[in-house]
């Protein structure tokens, strides 16, 4: 009973943590490029990055299956190298969670870099700092509050991902069954006590991280 209860919790945290690392890296890079670059098609790329936030989870899951399934080029390439489809694996859950959480990190990072004072960056360049030093020691600290908020919100979003994960990674106990999918199965089986236990757990984790985000934002703003 204990293992049956705690395994989806552990998997949810592991998937959310790995997804968080991925979206922090990709979201920060994408946010920086989009905040400081002007090019034809920028509006289209920006809309594409934000689209998982508004698309139905089933649509996101469909595109993941088309892209990473056996009939997709990326899916075919992965299966050719590893002799195994990525669908219905732990990594499929990570990819699904990363895709739906990415817009939150990207939007926060872009906003943070847009708010960073360009005059301070120019001053650092005038003093002899190269672009990497300007980014690490000037731009990144200025945008850090937004980046931190984006990271925590992305983690919470990945923790609660359900639809795309169910379609792309499935609901395999001990392998891809996260708390949201476990709650769905528990309700379907009429096990409301177990469903309530997982619901209270995920609500507690989500509210806790959201509260942490608010506290940190207040401290950093001071």
pLDDT of 103 over the 80 cut: yes
Structure tokens at 12: 């949810």
Q: How many CB atoms lie within 10 A of CB 195?
A: 18
Instruction: Please give the structure tokens belonging to residue 89.
Output: 């694996």
**Structure tokens, 104:** 């939150």
Domain spans, the chain: 2-221
pLDDT of res. 214? 83
Closest CA to 109 of 47, 43, 48, 23: 23
Q: pLDDT (tens digit, 9 = 90+) per residue, 153-200?
A: 999 999 999 999 999 999 999 899 999 999 999 999 999 999 999 999
The reported pLDDT for the residue numbered 54 is: 92
How many C-beta atoms lie closer than 10 Å to residue 58's C-beta?
A: 12
Res. 125 pLDDT band, cuts 50 70 90:
confident
H-assigned helices in 37-139: 42-50, 57-68, 73-82, 90-115, 118-126, 131-134
Q: What is the mean pLDDT of the chain?
A: 90
The per-residue pLDDT for range 4-31, each reduced to its tens digit, is 899 999 999 999 999 999 999 999 999 9
CA 23 vs. chain centroid, Å, equals 5
Task: Round to whole Å and give the CA distance between 12 and 23.
Answer: 16
> pTM for this structure?
0.90
Structure tokens at 65: 């299956």
> 169 near 92, Cβ under 8 Å?
yes
- Please give the helix or strand (H or E) that residue 16 lies within, else none: helix 2-36
> What would the CATH number be for the domain defined by 2-221?
1.10.3720.10
Torsion of CA 60, 65, 66, 68, to 10 degrees: 110
How do residues 33-88 score in pLDDT, each as one tens digit?
A: 999 888 888 999 999 999 999 999 999 999 999 999 888 888 888 888 888 889 99
Q: How far is the C-alpha of 52 from the C-alpha of 58, rounded, in Å?
A: 11
């Amino acid at each position: 009973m204990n293992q049956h209860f705690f395994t989806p919790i552990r998997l949810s945290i592991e998937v959310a943590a790995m997804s968080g690392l991925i979206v922090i890296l990709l979201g920060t890079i994408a946010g920086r490029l989009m905040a400081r670059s002007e090019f034809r098609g920028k509006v289209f790329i920006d809309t594409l990055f934000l689209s998982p936030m508004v698309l139905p989870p089933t649509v996101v899951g469909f595109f993941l299956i088309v892209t990473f399934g056996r009939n997709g080029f990326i899916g075919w390439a992965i299966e050719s190298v590893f002799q195994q489809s990525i669908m219905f694996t732990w990594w499929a859950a990570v990819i699904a969670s990363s895709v739906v959480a990415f817009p939150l990190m990207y939007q926060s990072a872009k906003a943070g870099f847009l708010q960073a004072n360009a005059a301070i960056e120019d001053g650092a360049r005038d003093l002899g700092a190269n672009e990497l030093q300007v980014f690490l020691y000037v731009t990144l600290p200025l945008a850090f509050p937004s980046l931190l908020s984006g990271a925590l919100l992305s983690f919470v979003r990945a923790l609660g991902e359900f639809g795309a994960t169910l379609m792309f990674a499935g609901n395999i106990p001990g392998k891809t069954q996260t708390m949201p999918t476990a709650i769905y199965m528990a309700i379907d089986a009429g096990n409301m006590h177990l469903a309530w236990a997982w619901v209270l757990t995920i609500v507690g984790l989500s509210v806790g991280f959201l509260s942490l985000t608010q506290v940190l934002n207040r401290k950093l703003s001071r």
